Amino acid sequence: MKILFTSDLDRTLIYSNHMMSLYPTNAPKTAVEHKGDVETSWMCDNTIELLKEVKKKTIFVPVTTRARHQYERIHFIQNLHPVVAVTSNGGTILESGKPDTVWAKQLRQSIEDSSIPDEQMLNIMKDIKYSNWMDQSFYVDDLFYVNHVHLENVQEDALQQLKEELHEFGWHLLLQKKKLYMIPNVLTKEAAVSYIKNKYSFDFHFAAGDSILDYNMLAMADRSYTPLHGDMKDKEPEILTQTHYSNENGTAFTEELLQDVLDHVNRVTL
């Protein structure tokens, strides 16, 4: 039996210095990402071994909102050599490290057909009532924007008005902590995962993620997982019956997730 396992990375499998400080552990841990000489993401040693085992027994597909170059900094994941990976919130599908050009062309055409150009969208953001929100803005792989915002200046009514206005033009707005995402409506993790599911043969689909950006990917799986520390359960339109809403935070959740996937895989492949 072939098993597909699509999983978000940050706050699901790997943890930043900040997350490790929020949910400390006494278990031995190893840096899995460096930015220059700085250790920026971690996994516990036991979850590293569990993920290695999961990768051997499933089609493991990392699925991240990170830009491609940020994903490629996670040296542990690179060393696992996943056959398929998704970056840029579904914008890029990598097969053995190389972009799937068919998907790229298909997605770009879909974005062009369904949303206004990003230049027009940015002109809307220049409105005086939004100008004091923004701190830094990043254009991720020429696909979508991530803005660091001053939360104290964000007004809920203005945010809702902006969401509605941009949605009419084919863009989705999402505020997560201090990050304001502006993403074309058709640019989603689940669209990329659906493409992969149609391309690869499998019998059962596991999925995991902590964010509302993962919601539809979890919804399309046969069994899925989300941590207590995530925000999906607070923002989801409805409870997903096939999803395990964990009572664990941080690396304890990752251990629970990977062990459960392994247990299921071992049972069905006996």
> pLDDT class for 173, splitting at 50, 70, 90?
very high
Q: Is the pLDDT of residue 11 over 80?
A: yes
Q: What is the pLDDT of residue 129?
A: 62
| Residue with the two structure tokens 């509302």 | 212
Mean pLDDT of 189-202: 97
Strands ordered across the beta sheet of 15-16: 15-16, 38-44, 29-35
Q: What is the pLDDT of residue 169?
A: 92
Cα dihedral: 102, 103, 109, 114 (round 10): 160
Q: What is the pLDDT of residue 165?
A: 87
> pLDDT class for 233, splitting at 50, 70, 90?
confident
Mean pLDDT of 65-90: 98
The chain-wide mean pLDDT, for the chain, equals 94
> pLDDT class for 255, splitting at 50, 70, 90?
very high
Amino acid identity, position 133: W
Q: Is the pLDDT of residue 176 over 80?
A: yes
> pLDDT class for 224, splitting at 50, 70, 90?
very high
Task: Give the C-alpha separation, 170 to 153, whole Å.
Answer: 25
Q: What does the longest C-alpha to C-alpha distance in the chain come to?
A: 63
Share of the chain above pLDDT 70, in %: 97
- SS3 for the chain is CCEEEEECCECCCEEEHHHHHHCCCCCCEEEEEEECCEEEEEEEHHHHHHHHHHHHHCEEEEECCCCHHHHCCCHHHHHHCCCEEEEHHHCEEEECCEECHHHHHHHHHHHHHHCCCHHHHHHHHCCCCCCCCEEEEEEECCCEEEEEECHHHCCHHHHHHHHHHHHHCCEEEEEECCEEEEEECCCCHHHHHHHHHHHCCCCEEEEECCCHHHHHHHHCCCEEEECCCCCHHHHCCCCCCCEEECCCCHHHHHHHHHHHHHHHHHHHCC
> pLDDT class for 231, splitting at 50, 70, 90?
very high
Mean pLDDT is highest, among 113-117, 163-167, 221-225, for: 221-225
Closest CA to 253 of 50, 41, 57: 50
Q: Is the pLDDT of residue 270 over 70?
A: no
Domains and CATH numbers, the chain: 3-106+187-268 (3.40.50.1000), 116-184 (3.90.1070)
Q: What is the pLDDT of residue 47?
A: 98
Task: Give the C-alpha separation, 167 to 149, whole Å.
Answer: 20
The answer to whether residues 45 and 25 touch, using CB atoms and an 8 Å cutoff, is: no
> pLDDT class for 146, splitting at 50, 70, 90?
very high
Greater confidence (157 vs 55) lies with 55
Task: Give the C-alpha separation, 224 to 63, whole Å.
Answer: 14
- HSE, side-chain direction, 13 A CA sphere, residue 50: 21
Greater confidence (138 vs 249) lies with 249
pLDDT per residue as tens digits for the range 27-49: 999 999 999 999 999 999 999 99
Q: What is the pLDDT of residue 240?
A: 96
pLDDT per residue as tens digits for the range 117-145: 888 877 777 765 666 787 788 899 999 99
The pTM of the full predicted model, rounded to 2 decimals, is 0.94
